[in-house]
Chains A and B, each alone.
Chain A
């Protein structure tokens, strides 16, 4: 058990969850005092001792399911049972019992026709019967997933194949028709709808679990854990997030920006002293015979920077721009002024969208609909965007302004107009460029980071929320 625990913690650390030595010890101790036969108790125990952040729980659960799969549980129990009955033969017998049992289940189920299977699932969903659902999921996976042993995959494709063949849409319709009945209320309809959706989700989760379990059987926990390992929300690559991960990011962003705002406000308040106030100190020193015993300080006047955000909102970098705008505006109280501009090949100021809006997310959502950013063909043109910015807004830049440029610098082979950026750099206090692409991609293809880089104080790779948060925190 201790070895298994060690491996499991290794996996958690590999996934990015910080587990300290003393937490490891706690977990080992806790495991010593609980009834190991109870899988959900073990889950709660390890969760409570190893994971100290709500955002990390989903990663923990995935890893737990891989390392302590239900099936391995059953075979372990079989093993324990065998030990009780017959000490001598335990090893061989248990080895046979584990897989034999699962194969037996599969064998019994496969006599079902497609029709019967769908009927079974329908019944299970209707009654919310977990056991029947598990059986159905097992059967569905045997039937449709077409799993090939030994392939190093995480099972996403198997899941897709099973779900497609199950025709969940039809199942959903049947359930809806069954539960809806004659009630004409909007509310009742919506509730029925949500209820069915939740049940179908449950079935999907069950099927995914079943596939995972089979993969564990096939390739062992450690190998599978590597394939299904998901990054923590703050480490997700913003550019390549799929829809689900995007939703995760959106959810992570709001608490993140709130925490950042609190932290910065605290930091600002704590800086109590400014520089030495010479006049005041000398005046005080008169009472001690001209010896400056008591230093006086100027009240702190932390410079609140003015921020100009210029964001590329074309295609793939759009989500990154939206996150950054959200974050910057969420902590706008830390800046004396924030002005935002978005561009593709035309440029438009969107600051007004954020005015008087409580939640920056609302404003960010409106950018797509309301900003006028396309002048010609809808391919990003950094040169044109900078020129337009320069023509209209350069006069507003002062030595207190920081310019923040967000984009991948993929200019679609348009003219760079780096000299415009040079002038902006001359006028402003600082120019930072945040690039959501990994450094190794810079300057490949139509990316022209290097042409702009000389006129930026820093060009920063910024692919995850964690990096973004760190940068914005530094800025304020």
Chain B
């Protein structure tokens, strides 16, 4: 193959002295490392993380709420021993909160401190150079991730909450791993950080953003995987109970509910049952604790009727 390895190419563009080593050898290794940090991935998740590292591209993680999108970024950070830098998105997030901000007060102090010697134009020039230095800048998460020299994982959480225009702020970082600051020039990454974006899909993200990312859809897990997740995250639970919980949750997800139970709610439910000292779920227990899984009264009523209601004709 004549084409350059994507990592080498990026490293050259960023002016790094050497190509950073590949973090994961294979998808299997990803899966193993994540499992050590109590995150049970599947083939698709592990493959995409592996690719993200090999291609040096950000990952856009989408899926229903509470399926472990944020937890995935945390687990990756933990398994790499990297610092997690998190940017929580919200409506109205702007440059000064996401990228950087000049520290006006400190700049003012510097100007006042430098005044007494008499103001020549040359000195003013020096001063100007001086107050627009990195020393007077407050770095915000995006810039921090770029300029960090230790290993970091950048998590841009719930990116669908910001306005379309704000998304554009992130594009330079996502594709070039650099930030342009008018007064300072371009700050390039000192390493290639792993970047995760999560979205709950409340609005369509822009094509430009999607194009720059690898896409990972994290849906509800299969029964087997959910059982394993329960087993690994809830101490002291028997595998029979975990299996049964996973099955109940699967059945609930097939019913047309307003809000299907998420994995995190499943875990809450499992913990509750363990605290209650149950070894299996009877009708009574289920009816009494269903409100942990479901958050709408109408959902609870419907689920009670469907799961525990009149005997289904087993014709």
Contact = CB atoms under 8 A, between A and B. Distances in A.
A29 interface: yes
Contact of B44 (A47, A194, A258): A47
A293 B299 CA distance: 59
Contact of A262 (B26, B203, B207): B203
Given A33-B55, A47-B217, A359-B258, 17 more contacts: A20-B207, A33-B51, A33-B54, A34-B50, A41-B47, A44-B43, A47-B215, A48-B51, A49-B215, A52-B213, A185-B282, A186-B309, A186-B311, A187-B286, A190-B307, A193-B312, A193-B314
Contacts of B59: 48
Interface of B: 1, 3, 5-6, 26-27, 43-44, 47-48, 50-51, 54-55, 57, 59-60, 62-63, 163, 201-204, 207, 210-211, 213-217, 219, 223, 244, 247-248, 250-251, 254, 258, 281-283, 286, 298, 306-309, 311-312, 314
Interface string A349-365: 00000000011001000
Given A186-B283, A193-B314, A52 B250 contact: no
A23 B211 contact: yes
Contacts of B50: 34
Given A52-B215, A54-B217, A194 B247 contact: yes
A246 to B, nearest CB: 13
B248 A191 contact: yes
A191 to B, nearest CB: 5
Contacts of B210: 52
| 9 closest Cβ pairs, A-B complex | A44-B47, A52-B210, A48-B214, A54-B217, A194-B251, A52-B215, A44-B44, A33-B54, A191-B247
Most buried by B among A54, A198, A266: A54
A388 interface: no
A195 B204 CA distance: 35
A32 B54 CA distance: 10
Contacts of A18: 207
A190 B251 contact: yes
Given A40-B47, A189-B311, A30 B203 contact: no
Contacts of B223: 198
Contacts of A255: 201
Contact of A57 (B55, B217, B311): B217
B312 to A, nearest CB: 6
A72 to B, nearest CB: 20
A43 B306 CA distance: 37
A259 B160 CA distance: 11
A126 interface: no
13 contacts: A23-B211, A26-B214, A34-B54, A40-B44, A41-B47, A48-B47, A48-B48, A54-B201, A186-B308, A190-B308, A191-B248, A193-B314, A194-B251
